[in-house]
Chain A
Amino acid sequence: MSEDLFKVTIDNITIDVPPGTTILQAARKIGGDVTPPAMCYYSKLKDSGGKCRTCLVEVSKGSEKDPRPMPKLVASCRTTVMDGMEVKNITSPKAMEARKGVVEFLLINHPLDCPICDQAGECDLQDLSYGHGNEGSRFEFQKRVFEKHDLGPYIQLHMTRCILCYRCVFVADQLTEKRQHGILDRGERAEIATYISKSLEHDFIGNVIDVCPVGALTDKTFRFKNRVWFTKPVDAHRDCDKCAGLVRLWLRGDEVFRVTVRRDEWGEVINTPEGKPAWICNECRFEKKKESDWIIEGPTHINRHSVIAQGHYEGLKMPNEFLPEVIGKKPRLFLNIHDVSEVNRPGIDLSLIEGPATSDDFENPKND
C-alpha cells in the first residue's frame, strides 16, 4: 500500500485512508453496521460533530507508534485516525452500552409524537432508537415542552423535538452572511431561538430543514400534507440562477408535495458536478411546486431498509453485510427467514411489483 495512507482497523476490518480522515469517515468507507450512527456530525458543515455522542467508539490501539489504548471512548466524528489504529465499534460492549445510554438521554425529553410528526419515516432519531435503543423508558417525569414558533413564512420550529445538534446553526453560519438564530439559555433549558421572534430570511436558509435530523424544523408548505412514505421521490433539476437546482421532488401522482435537497446514503446533501454541496435556494424549495417547473431525471434510489421503500421503487439498494468479517467466521443462522416467510423470498423483486405490495404478490409471484 502507498506510504501516504494510514492503515486503520475498525471492527476487524482493515482499510487504508489518507491522513486527516476521521474514524467515522473511515468507517463510512467500509459501510454497513461497522459505521457508527451520527446525529450531529454533517461532513459538509465545518465544525459540526462532537456533540450528540452517539458515534462514540473504543480505540483499543492508538497507533503503530503508540499502541496504548485511549482511556475514554472517543467521538469518532471528531477523532482522526493514526497509522495502525484499531477501533472497536459494534465489537465493543463498552461503546454499545454508552450508545444505548445516549439514545436514552436523547429520548427522555423527546415528545415521541412520531404519529403526527412530518419527519417520521425519514427521521434519524427514529432510526437510531430502533437500531440502538431500549424498548421502554425509565424516565418517569414530566417531559420538557416548548411553544411552537414560526420562523417566517416557510419554516416552523418545534423546539420540543430538537436534539440540539447545532447543524442548523452551522448552516446559518456557513451559508448566509448573518446568522439570525442560535442557542439561547443553557443545559436542559437550551433552545434554538431567534431571541425576539423573528423570521429567518435568507435565500438559502431553507436548508436548515434538510439538515435537521429530527422534526424540529419543518417545511410549512408541506406540513401535515402527507406522510413521506406515501410520496414518491424522484430526482429532478431546473435552471436556477441562485443554486444548482439539483433537487428531489416528492410526488403523489403528478402533484409535487415537497422539494428537498438530494441526500446521499448518509443523509447528507450530495455534491454538484463541480464538487460543491448542492444546497438549494428557497425559491426552488418553496415556490416551484409544479411538475412542469422541473425536468425529471428518474426515480430516486432508496435503501431497502427505509420505510419509503415499502412501495414500488426501482433500483432498491442492498446494503453490504459484514458480519462474517467482523466476527471472523460465518454466522450460524438459528432460523433462516427465507424458510418461513414468504415476504422475504429472495426471488421476489419488490421493485417490479406495481403499486403497493399485497399478500397476493407474495403468494402468486409473477417473477419468481
Chain B
Amino acid sequence: MVKLLLENAQKEGIRFLKTYRENGGYQSLEKALKMAPDNITEEVKVSGLRGRGGAGFPTGLKWSFLAKPENTPRYLVCNADESEPGTFKDRFLMEFIPHLLIEGMIISSYALGSNRSYIYIRGEYAWIVDILRQAIEEAKQNGYLGKNILGSGFDCEIFVHPGAGAYICGEETALLESLEGKRGNPRIKPPFPAVKGLWNCPTVVNNVETIAAVVPIIKMSGAEYAKIGVGRSTGTKLISACGNINKPGVYEIDMTISVEDFIYSDEFCGGIANGKKLKACIPGGSSVPILPANLLLKTAKGETRYMNYESLSDGGFATGSMMGSGGFIVLDEDQCVVKHTYTLAHFYRHESCGQCSPCREGTGWMERILKNIETGKGKMSDIDLLWDIQSKIEGNTICPLGDAAAWPVAAAIRHFRDEFEWHVLNPEESQKRNYGLANYASPLALVS
C-alpha cells in the first residue's frame, strides 16, 4: 500500500532535519518556491485533497476562497488541537516526523501569502510542543524559515501555541479566539475565517494532516496524487484505530481498502482482540454515528463498505456514518452501547462552551438521562425523550459541537434501541451483564 506521509516515520533520527533531508525532505519546498503561489493552490485543487480535520471540505477550494485585500496580512493556522476521542493521528505525525508538518506549513504559507503562521496545539501534547519548536529552530538555522527563504524573497515565521485543554478550541473559530488570547467561544458565522479570521484578517485553518499532505502533492504533482484512492477520496488518509482490536495504532491507507479488510487484515487492525466478535464501530471519531457490525461491513444495499468518504457515508445517517477525523473505534461483543453512549454524552456535556442554549442545556440533560438508563433507573419514555432532545439540539446551535453531541445519541438509539429497552426492562440484570452481540452482526435482509 502506498505511503505518502508515514513512509519514513519510523526511520531512526527522522525527527531531525539532517535525516529528514537525507530522505528527500524539503525538496518539495525548494520546488514550491520556484512556483507561483497561485499555481500551488491550483495543484492542491487538482489533487482533490479534502480537509482531514473532520468535515472533509476540499482544501484547494478553501484556499481559493481566501480574501486578499491590499495591505492586510493573511494567516495560515494549523489546527493541531486534536481532542476528538478516538483520534490520535496528528499526534503520531508531529511526534515522529515533525519536519513534514513544518515543510507543509512553509509551502502552504507561501501559497497563501502568510508571513506569520501558527500551529495551535492541544496543551496536553506538551512534549510535542518541544519537538515542533526544535524542528522550527532547525529549519530556521538552515534557511527554510525566517527572512528571504532560500533566496526566494519570501519571509515566514511559524509559532507554536499550546491550548489549555478544551476540545472546543479545535473548532476553527474558537481556536482563533483562543489564539487571540480570548475565551475559546466559537464565533457566529458569517463572517467566515477566509474573510475575517485571526485578528480580523483573512485566515485559512487546516488540520495537521491536511497541511502535511501538501508536501507529497507538490513532490508528485496534484494530478498524480489524485490517481491514488477512489472517486472524491483521493490520496492517503491516516486512521487512528483503537478499541477491541489486536493492533491499535495509526495507519496510513489509500482509500480503496474495505472496512472488513481494514479490521481483519494483519497489516492493519489484525482482527478483534481475544477472539471476540465485532459488535459495532465508530468509524470517524466520537462525533460520527456509530454503526452495528452488519451495517459497518456492508451498506444497506448489500454492497461492501470501503474506508473512504463516500462509502462510509453511504445511506446517509439512516444506515451510514462518516469518515470524520479518522478515529476508528471498535467495540466487541462485550461492550455495552448504553454505557458507551453515556460516556460520550459525558464528554460533550463537559466540553460544551455554554454559549448557546440547546447545547449548554441539552448536553447535560442527555447525560443525566443516559446515566439513569445505564444505572438501571431508566424509564421507557426516556428513550423517546432522548431522541426528542437530540433532535432539538441538532442543527440549531452556533457550532457543530451541538451536532457532534446529538449524532452519537441519535445513532445509538437508531441502531441499538433494543439494547436501551433491555436496560430499562432489566434494571438489575443490566448491572451484572451486557446485552451482548444480539443480532447486530447478523446478515442484513436485502433491501429491494
A237 interface residue (CB < 8 Å to B): no
User: How would residues 154 to 180 of chain A score, 1 for a CB under 8 Å from any chain B CB and 0 otherwise?
Assistant: 000000000110100000000000000
Q: Which of B353, B365, B397 has the most CB of A within 10 A?
A: B365
A138 an interface residue at 8 Å Cβ cutoff? yes
Residues on B with C-beta less than 8 A from A360 are none
Residues of chain A contacted by B168 (CB below 8 angstroms): 186
The segment from B290-298, B333-341, B356-364 that touches chain A is: B356-364
Contacts of A163 in B (CB 8 A): 357
The count of chain B contact residues (Cβ–Cβ below 8 Å) is 29
Query: Interface range on chain A: under 10, 10 to 19, 20 to 34, or 35 or more?
Result: 35 or more
Contact (Cβ within 8 A) B354 A52: no
Query: CB distance B349 to A187 under 8 Å?
Result: yes
Cβ-defined contact, A53 with B183, below 8 A: no
A108 to B357, CA, bound (A): 11
The answer on a CB contact under 8 Å between A190 and B354 is: yes
Check: B114 CB closer than 8 A to any chain A CB: no
Is the CB of B392 closer than 8 A to any CB of chain A? yes
CA distance A183 to B354 in the complex (A): 10
> Do A187 and B358 have beta carbons less than 8 Å apart?
no
**Which residues from chain A contact B360 at a C-beta distance below 8 Å?**
105, 164, 187-188, 190
Hey, which chain B residues are within 8 Å of A189, CB to CB? 354
Q: Could you tell me the distance in whole angstroms from the C-beta of B405 to the nearest C-beta in chain A?
A: 10
- Measured between C-beta atoms, what is the minimum distance from A3 to chain B in Å? 24
- Complex CA distance for A141 and B365, rounded to whole angstroms: 8
Contact in complex: A164, B385 (CB < 8 Å): no
In angstroms, Cα B385 to Cα A187, docked, is 21
Interface pair B353/A51, CB less than 8 Å apart = no
**With A50-B188, A105-B361, A109-B361 as contacts: A187 and B392 at CB distance below 8 Å:** no
| Segment with Cβ contacts to B, from A72-80, A219-227, A272-280, A318-326 | A72-80
Q: A164-B355, A187-B350, A188-B349 are in contact. Are A138 and B183 (CB under 8 A)?
A: no
* CA–CA, A61 and B405, complex, Å: 29
User: Does A182 interact with chain B (Cβ within 8 Å)?
Assistant: yes
- Chain B min CB distance to A190 (Å): 3
Interface string of A192-232 (1 = CB under 8 A from B): 00000000000000000000000000000000000000000
Once bound together, how far apart are the Cα atoms of A105 and B390, in whole Å? 12
Is B395 on the interface with A (CB-CB < 8 A)? yes
Contact (A72, B363) CB under 8 Å given A187-B353, A188-B352 = no
Query: Which partner residue on chain B sits nearest A39 by CB separation?
Result: B357
Chain A residue, CB-CB nearest to B348: A187
Tell me the minimal C-beta distance from A102 to chain B in angstroms.
Answer: 6
**A108 adjacent to B353 (CB under 8 Å):** no
Which residue of chain A lies nearest to B184 when distances are taken between CB atoms in the complex? Answer: A186
Which residues of B135-175 are within 8 A (CB) of A? 166, 168
Contact A188 B395 (CB under 8 A): no
CB neighbours of B385 from chain A (8 A): 138
| CA A68 to CA B220, docked complex, whole Å | 39
Whether A73 contacts B363 by the Cβ 8 Å rule is no
A53 touches B354 (CB 8 A): no
Kindly provide the distance from the CB of B269 to the nearest chain A CB, expressed in whole angstroms. 34
Query: Which of chain A's residues have a CB closer than 8 A to the CB of B39?
Result: none
Q: Which residues of A contact B355 (CB under 8 A)?
A: 51, 164, 166
Which residues on the A side are within 8 Å of B392 (C-beta)? 97-98, 100-102, 104-105
Q: Is there an interface contact between A50 and B362, defined as CB atoms closer than 8 Å? A: no
In the complex, B368 has a CB within 8 A of chain A:
yes
Report the Cα distance A133→B353, complex, angstroms: 25
> Is B442's CB within 8 Å of the partner chain A?
no
Chain A 97-124, CB within 8 Å of chain B: the 1/0 string?
1101110111011000000000000000
Rounded to whole angstroms, the CA-CA distance of A189 and B352 in the bound complex is 10
Does any Cβ of B come within 8 Å of A266's Cβ? no
Q: Whole-angstrom distance between the alpha carbons of A182 and B354 in the complex? A: 13
Which one, A53, A98, A186, contacts B356 given CB within 8 A?
Answer: A53
Nearest-neighbor residue (CB-CB) of B392 within chain A: A101
A146 touches B (CB below 8 Å)? no
The reply on A56 being an interface residue by CB < 8 A is yes
Partner of A187, one of B183, B363, B368, B398: B363
Chain A residues, Cβ within 8 Å of B188: 49-50, 75, 78
Q: Does A139 contact B (CB under 8 A)?
A: yes
Q: List the A side residues contacting B389 at CB < 8 Å.
A: 101
Taking the nearest CB of chain A, how far is it from the CB of B59, in angstroms?
A: 22
Inter-subunit contact B356/A188 (CB<8 Å): no
Q: Roughly how many angstroms separate A252 CA and B231 CA in the complex, as a whole number?
A: 75
Q: A141-B368, A187-B354 are in contact. Are A182 and B183 (CB under 8 A)?
A: yes
Given A187-B349, A187-B363, answer yes or no on A72-B357 (Cβ-Cβ < 8 Å): no
Contacts of A75 in B (CB 8 A): 188
Is B351 in the interface zone, CB < 8 Å from A? yes
Do B357 and A105 touch (CB < 8 A)? yes
Complex-state Cα separation, A100 to B358, whole angstroms:
11
B396 contacts the other chain (CB 8 A): yes
Residues in A with CB closer than 8 Å to B353 are 186-187, 190
Contact A53 B357 (CB under 8 A): yes
Report chain A residues within 8 Å CB of B356. Answer: 50-53
Which residues of B lie under 8 Å from residue A186 when comparing CB positions? Answer: 166, 168, 351-354
Contact B361 A73 (CB under 8 A): no
| The residue from B350, B351, B363, B397 contacting A53, defined by CB atoms under 8 A apart | B397
In the complex, chain B residues whose CB is within 8 Å of the CB of A106? 357, 361
Chain B nearest Cβ from A364, distance in angstroms: 49
The answer for the CA separation of A129 and B356 in the assembled complex, in Å, is 17
Instruction: Contact check, B395 vs A72: say whether CB atoms are below 8 A apart.
Output: yes
Interface hits, B389-448 → A, CB 8 Å: 389, 392-393, 395-398
Interface positions, chain A 58-76, Cβ under 8 Å from B, are 72-73, 75
Q: Are A51 and B361 in contact (CB under 8 A)?
A: no
Report the bound CA distance from A158 to B226 in whole Å.
59
A20 to B441, CA, bound (A): 54
Report whether B364 and A187 are in contact in the complex, using a CB–CB cutoff of 8 Å.
Answer: yes
CB-nearest residue of chain B to A103? B357
- Report the Cα distance A54→B355, complex, angstroms: 13
Cα(A101)–Cα(B355), bound, Å? 16
Judge whether A73 and B395 touch: CB under 8 Å: yes
B396 touches A56 (CB 8 A): yes
Chain B residue numbers with a CB within 8 Å of A185 are 354
Q: Are A101 and B352 in contact (CB under 8 A)?
A: no
A78-B188, A186-B166, A188-B354 in contact; A53/B361 too (CB < 8 A)? Answer: no
Q: A53 touching B358 by the CB < 8 A rule?
A: yes
Residues of chain B within 8 A (CB-CB) of A104 are 392
Q: Contacts of B396 on A, CB cut-off 8 Å? A: 53, 56, 72-73, 98, 101-102
With A and B bound together, what is the CA distance between A141 and B362 in angstroms? 13
B234 to chain A, nearest CB (A): 26
Chain B: CB-nearest residue to A97 = B392
Given the complex, which residues of A lie within 8 Å of B363, measured CB to CB?
A: 187-188
- Find chain B residues with CB under 8 A from A108 CB: 361, 365
Q: Other than A49-B188, A53-B356, A53-B358, give 8 A-B pairs with Cβ distance below 8 A.
A: A50-B188, A52-B356, A53-B396, A73-B395, A163-B357, A188-B361, A190-B353, A190-B360
- 19 A-B residue pairs with Cβ-Cβ distance under 8 Å, sorted by A, are A50-B398, A51-B357, A53-B357, A53-B396, A97-B392, A100-B392, A101-B389, A109-B361, A138-B385, A164-B360, A185-B354, A186-B166, A186-B168, A186-B352, A187-B352, A188-B349, A188-B352, A188-B361, A188-B363
Q: Which residues of B contact A (CB under 8 A)?
A: 166, 168, 183, 188, 349-358, 360-365, 368, 385, 389, 392-393, 395-398
